[in-house]
Every structure is written in structure tokens, then in C-alpha cells.
């Protein structure tokens, strides 16, 4: 290793980071100044990568979990040859810049995931490592290893304090993900001061208890970082945490203090820092010439690594044509087998979670890359996969069922990481009320435009005896409010089948399929073309002769309830519209909405949740909302519904008014 060149790279990272943050008068200089060496060693000596092709399938992955230190990443990406120019660096944190405040997936070349909300980056890295192990077991042969890479992440105190990282790292240890290596930038500083104020635990012992190998070293000894990484790579059955003692804001006049964490250093302090580094104090965005020269000398080796893999891949493909077909299908979300559709009769009576379980297994048989599981709720969620190679574990890497344990937040993060890695279409499941545990990660998945599938069951007060803690009333509305998230609440078994088809068709956004615990009476659809029209977000489930007096907009279990209520009302013509996707309905043109409402003088909304979404559509906000604007009660589902006056009979009385 050329330590002089590595030091030049580290110095250049500090120089670019200070100036970019100062020019923007916004950012976090502490991490780039304090952890420059690990980035230099990683991109120069450790990573298997080719900056000329950031999408090379068998590249090592690096996730900057401490995403506030984004200039560390942008600087090393620029220096090592990714598509990050000096002009990009100079426009840090400006509108339209690819050097965003925090790293954003799909915006900046070489950025593996959107990171910034602390703890989520390293948790997604766990998912990437899991994906690598699963694909390696599936596609590698005795003659050819086409999947053989590592996942690295850099964390700080903030990431390790956030609970999601604990969830994910605990699972990583249980699954023995030996090709996951995490560097801990241990500077013991957070925004409010010393981390000892709130975080004086023994991190090493905690991670050893998780089943990790823990190594310790000095951030400012590049040769030691390289040696520790090799030791980590030699440990095949444990992920590794490499604790590197560091100084936040190193080289700044106020290094080691919280003042360097999250604000520009100031013009005078930048000059003093440059003097401390031995670089021109009056030259902005200075790069030590040896830094560029070093990476220029590495270009051929970087390219050759990918070229060698391409030859290996071609030889593998020639010897294994069927595996190659599977590889292509897995990486393009294409069907891998012809499987007949599950047929539900219109009048089938069953819980939509039961119908959902049948559809999940159909899709798993049809799409080999559909993998996932639930947060310890496979039975209640009906998400157990049959004939899909069993449960994924350290002993069974080809298993397509992932037991996430009671870790909803990490479950979602791992799914994001698996999808970001490539080759897999992940799903996860829990009760609807626990969507709040994973909501921040669902938001991030939507920001990254990942087509993850979330299965949420036990969707209303009809959970029954578990009571108000488990009876979601506001959750549907909260999920719908996340930009880009598609929320589907099917009304019966047939609609559940359509919901799954809609979810699998998604290419650029997460989909939440919301399902019932209780049995639902299926219904004959008045719209003969309902299978097509439901994909627009809503269709006429029950029609009437002529212009309706009342149109009921209903979702999920309330479609059946509305049809039953309509049958109890005499002397009024009632149309029931099934709104499987509220946001699609809301975004329809006025003409499309009017066609569904059919000129009714009165519009009523029926949903077992809060009424806020529906007030814009109903005729009278006081009398035409059949919703639940309060928490539920403990008791048998039917009794709870009676107590809350939320039965077909109660809706019929409302319609008769």
C-alpha cells in the first residue's frame, strides 16, 4: 500500500469537504475531517469496484450510514473516478445538485442507498449482505463464483444509538453474515456534546453478544485499517465491527469538539485547518496532485477486476444456460415458471388475509426472486411460503422465507437493502397497527422508488379482543399520506387477487396490501369489466337502475357492509363503489369521479378508520361519514362493531336518513 498516496487522498477529502461545506454555509464537516483515512483506504485498497461502472453486479457495496457526513462520500467518489465532478462538489447542497445534503440513491453515481436518517443505512447494508449470500447460494457453481463480494458500512455514535441498527445488527449476527463489515467512527461526539452524556455502554461487548467479531484500531493508521479489514474478511461465520478511534473534525482548530459536527467551520477556521494540513490556505477546493495520480494508476486494475468477472460470468453462462435464464429473470422481475391463476368465486366468504396468502404463494411460485417474510407473524399474516426452499438461515442460504423476528423497522430496512442490491423482489408483513414501527423506513423506500411489497393484516376494529392497542383506526390515512406509497385495501377475495397483480406490476414505488382478519362475504360485481377498472383505483361494485339516489364510496370490508346495508334500504336507489386505492381515486379527473358517483344527490363514505380522507367527497360532513373517529374497544369483533354502531344495520339507518 502506498501510504503517502493514501494520506494525499485523505488530505484532499478534508480539503474538498471543508470548502464545499463552507461555500454552502451548511453541512457536517466533523465526519469527513475525522474519518477521511477509512474512506481513502476503502476506495483505494479494499473495495472491489470499478468507478467507470458503478452498477457492476459483483462490486463490493459501501453504505455511508452516517449520511450527514455526505461530503466524505462525494469527495472520495470524485477522487476515485465516479461521475462526480468538481463542479458538482462546488454545488454541494444546492437545488438540482447531485451532491445532496444527504446521499440519495438514484441521484449520485456510486451512492448505494439513500442514507441520513441515522441507523437506517447500516440496516440496509445488512439486507445487501443477506442478498449477496442468497444469490451466491443460488447461482454459484463448483466451477464459477459469479456472486462473491462484501458489504461495508461506516457508522457513528448516532447510528449505533438508533434502535433500528440494533434490530438489524442482532439479526445479522444470528444469520452469521460473515461478508458484512462495519467500520465504527468512534469519536464519542454528538451534536449536544460528548456521547458519554447518553451513550456510555460498552459497544464492543454489545456486538459480541449479537454474535459479531469485534476488532479495534486507530483511524489514522491506514496500514492497520487494511490489516483489520483482512482479518474481518477471514472470519466467515460472523459479521465484523471494526472500531476505529478517531477525532471529530480532525485538523480543524476546534477538533474533537461538538462545534465541528454540524456547521461550516467558518472562513478563518478553514484557513487554519488548511495550514495544519500543509496545503495552500488561499486555494479553494485544492486536491493534492498525488491523490489524482494514485487513482489514475488504479484505473487499469479496477477495470481488469470487472473484465475478469465478465469472463467468469460468460463461462458460467455458457456452462449453465438454465441458471443464466434464471439470473436474467431474477434481475428483471420476470416470471420464472408458468403457474395457473388462483380462481376465487365472487361469493367466496373468507378473510382477505387468507386470500392474500393464496395469492402470495401463487406469486412466489411464478416469480423465483420473490422473497421475504413477516415480523414473527407468518401464521396470522398468512405469509408462510410453501415449496420455496425453506427458511433462510446460515445453514440454508437458498431459503426464500426470511424470519425477521419481532423487528418491524429492521424488517423493512433489510427489504430495502435486498432490493437495492439487485436480483430480489422482497416482501414483508405485520399487523397494520405496527406499520408505525416501520413507517420511517417505508418513507425512505418510497423516496428511493423501491417496489417493495408490504402485507398488512388485521386492518381494523374487527381485530376484536386484542383491543384498541391493536385496532388501527388512523393508520390507513397515515400510510396514504406518504408520497409515492400505494395503499390497496381490497374488499373480498377476488379484489385481493387484483391487488396482488397491481402490486407485482409496480416498478417504482412501494405497495401496501391491507387485509382483514375476519371473513368477508364476497359479492357479484356489477361492472363486467371490473378486473380492468379496479386497476384505475375504483369501480362500481354494486349498481342500481338509473341514476342513484345515494352512492357509497367504500373500501375493504366496508364494501361488503355497504352492499348488505343497501339491501336493507327500500325506496332508494343505491350504488356502491369499491375504492381499492384512495389516492388513485382522489387523483382521477372530475369526469372520472363523476362517472363513478353517477350523478347521485348524496355521497356517503364507508371505511373502518378515521374520516379525514373522505370529507372532501361526501355531501354532508356531519351525516355522510360512516367512519370511526375514535379508538376501539376490547371484545369479540361483532360485539365491538355493535358497540361502536358500525354494522350493516347501522349503515342502513344512516342511508335511510
Rounded Cα gap, residues 649 and 531, in angstroms: 29
Give Cβ neighbours of residue 379 (< 8 Å, ≥ 6 apart): none
Locate 355 and state its grid cell.
Answer: 386470500
What's the N-to-C CA distance of the chain in angstroms?
Answer: 83
Neighbours of 308 (CB within 10 A): 10
What 3-state DSSP class applies to 403? coil
Cell numbers 362517472 correspond to what residue? 595
Rounded to whole angstroms, the Cα distance separating 72 from 333 reads: 34
**Residues 408, 376: Cα–Cα separation, whole Å:** 9
Burial of 165 (0-12, 13-18, 19+ CB in 10 A): buried
* Whether 410 contacts 402, CB under 8 Å: no
| Cα pseudo-dihedral 479, 485, 487, 493, rounded to 10 | -140
338 labelled catalytic: no
CA separation for the pair 619, 426 (Å, rounded): 41
Q: What are phi and psi of 176, to 5 degrees?
A: 55, 50
The residue to which cell 391487488 is assigned? 499
CA dihedral 596, 600, 606, 612 (to 10 degrees): 90
Collapsing DSSP states into helix, strand and coil, what is residue 575?
Answer: strand
Q: Where are the alpha helices (DSSP H) in 140-243?
A: 157-161, 163-174, 203-210, 222-234
Q: Cα dihedral angle (511, 515, 520, 523), rounded to 10 degrees?
A: 0
Closest CA to 239 of 128, 342, 315: 128
Separation CA 130–CA 151 (nearest Å): 10
Q: Kindly report the CA angle at 484 between 482 and 489, in degrees rounded to 5?
A: 75
Question: Cβ-count burial of 376 within 10 angstroms (0-12 exposed, 13-18 middle, 19+ buried)?
Answer: middle
Residue 399 has phi, psi (to 5 degrees) of -60, 135
In the three-class reduction of DSSP (H, G, I as helix; E, B as strand; rest coil), residue 461 is classed as helix
Residues 450, 247: Cα–Cα separation, whole Å:
36
Phi first, then psi: what are they for 27, rounded to 5°?
Answer: 140, -170
Catalytic member of 255, 408, 495, 558: 408
Q: What are the catalytic residues?
A: 408
Amino acid at each position: 500500500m502506498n501510504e503517502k498516496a493514501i494520506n494525499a487522498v485523505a488530505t484532499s477529502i478534508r480539503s474538498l469537504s471543508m470548502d464545499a461545506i463552507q461555500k454552502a454555509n451548511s453541512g457536517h464537516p466533523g465526519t469527513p475531517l475525522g474519518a477521511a483515512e477509512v474512506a481513502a483506504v476503502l476506495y483505494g485498497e479494499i473495495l472491489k469496484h470499478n468507478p467507470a461502472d458503478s452498477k457492476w453486479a459483483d462490486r463490493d457495496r459501501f453504505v455511508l450510514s452516517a449520511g450527514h457526513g455526505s461530503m466524505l462520500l462525494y469527495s472520495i467518489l470524485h477522487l476515485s473516478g465516479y461521475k462526480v465532478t468538481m463542479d458538482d462538489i462546488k454545488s454541494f447542497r444546492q437545488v438540482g445538485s447531485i451532491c445532496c445534503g444527504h446521499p440519495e440513491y438514484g441521484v449520485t453515481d456510486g451512492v448505494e442507498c439513500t442514507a441520513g436518517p441515522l441507523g437506517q443505512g447500516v440496516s440496509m447494508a445488512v439486507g445487501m449482505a443477506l442478498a449477496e449470500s442468497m444469490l451466491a447460494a443460488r447461482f454459484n457453481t463448483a466451477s464459477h463464483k459469479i456472486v462473491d463480494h462484501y458489504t461495508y458500512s461506516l457508522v457513528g455514535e448516532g447510528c449505533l444509538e438508533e434502535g433500528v441498527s440494533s434490530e438489524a445488527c442482532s439479526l445479522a449476527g444470528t444469520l452469521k453474515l460473515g461478508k458484512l463489515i462495519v467500520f465504527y467512527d468512534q469519536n464519542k461526539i454528538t451534536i449536544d456534546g460528548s456521547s458519554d452524556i447518553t451513550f456510555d455502554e460498552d459497544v464492543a461487548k454489545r456486538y459480541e453478544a449479537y454474535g459479531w467479531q469485534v476488532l479495534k484500531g486507530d483511524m489514522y493508521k491506514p496500514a492497520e485499517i487494511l490489516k483489520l479489514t483482512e482479518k474481518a474478511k477471514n472470519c466467515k461465520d460472523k459479521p465484523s465491527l471494526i472500531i476505529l478511534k478517531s477525532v471529530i473534525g480532525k485538523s480543524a482548530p476546534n477538533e474533537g469538539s461538538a462545534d465541528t459536527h454540524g456547521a461550516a467551520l467558518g472562513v478563518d477556521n478553514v484557513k487554519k485547518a488548511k495550514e495544519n494540513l500543509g496545503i495552500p490556505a488561499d486555494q479553494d477546493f485544492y486536491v493534492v496532485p498525488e491523490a489524482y495520480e494514485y487513482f489514475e494508476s488504479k484505473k487499469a486494475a479496477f477495470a481488469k477486476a470487472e473484465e475478469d468477472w465478465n469472463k467468469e460470468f460468460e463461462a458460467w453462462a455458457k456452462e449453465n444456460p438454465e441458471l443464466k435464464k434464471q439470473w436474467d429473470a431474477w434481475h428483471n422481475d420476470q416470471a420464472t415458471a408458468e403457474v395457473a391463476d388462483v380462481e376465487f368465486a365472487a361469493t367466496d366468504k373468507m378473510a382477505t388475509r387468507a386470500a392474500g396468502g393464496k395469492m402470495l404463494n401463487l406469486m412466489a411460485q411464478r416469480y423465483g426472486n420473490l422473497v421475504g417474510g413477516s415480523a414473527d407473524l407468518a401464521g396470522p399474516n398468512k405469509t408462510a411460503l410453501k415449496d420455496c426452499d425453506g427458511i433462510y438461515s446460515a445453514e440454508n442460504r437458498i431459503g426464500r422465507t426470511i424470519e425477521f423476528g419481532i423487528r418491524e423497522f429492521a424488517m423493512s430496512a433489510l427489504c430495502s437493502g435486498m432490493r437495492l442490491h439487485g436480483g430480489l423482489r422482497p416482501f414483508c408483513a405485520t399487523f397494520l397497527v405496527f406499520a408505525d414501527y416501520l413507517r420511517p423506513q417505508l418513507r425512505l423506500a418510497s423516496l428511493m422508488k423501491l417496489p417493495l411489497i408490504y402485507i398488512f393484516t388485521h386492518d381494523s376494529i374487527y381485530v376484536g379482543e386484542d383491543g384498541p392497542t391493536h385496532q388501527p383506526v388512523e393508520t390507513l390515512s397515515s400510510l396514504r399520506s406518504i408520497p409515492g406509497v400505494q395503499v390497496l385495501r381490497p374488499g373480498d377475495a377476488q379484489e385481493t387477487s387484483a391487488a396482488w397483480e397491481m402490486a407485482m406490476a409496480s416498478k417504482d414505488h412501494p405497495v401496501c396490501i391491507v387485509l382483514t382478519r375476519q371473513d368477508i362475504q364476497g359479492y357479484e360485481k356489477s361492472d363486467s369489466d371490473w378486473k380492468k377498472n379496479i386497476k384505475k383505483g375504483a369501480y362500481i361494485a354494486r349498481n342500481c337502475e338509473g341514476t342513484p339516489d345515494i352512492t357509497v364510496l367504500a373500501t375493504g370490508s366496508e364494501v361488503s357492509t355497504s352492499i348488505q346495508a343497501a339491501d336493507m334500504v327500500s325506496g332508494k336507489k343505491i350504488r356502491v363503489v369499491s375504492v381499492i386505492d384512495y389516492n388513485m381515486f382522489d387523483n382521477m379527473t372530475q369526469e372520472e369521479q363523476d362517472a363513478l358517483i353517477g350523478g347521485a344527490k348524496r355521497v356517503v363514505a364507508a371505511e373502518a378508520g378515521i374520516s379525514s380522507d373522505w370529507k372532501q367527497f361526501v355531501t354532508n360532513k356531519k351525516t355522510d361519514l360512516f367512519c370511526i373517529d375514535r379508538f376501539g374497544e376490547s371484545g369479540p369483533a361483532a360485539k365491538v362493531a355493535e358497540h361502536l354502531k358500525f354494522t350493516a344495520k347501522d349503515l342502513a339507518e344512516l342511508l335511510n336518513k
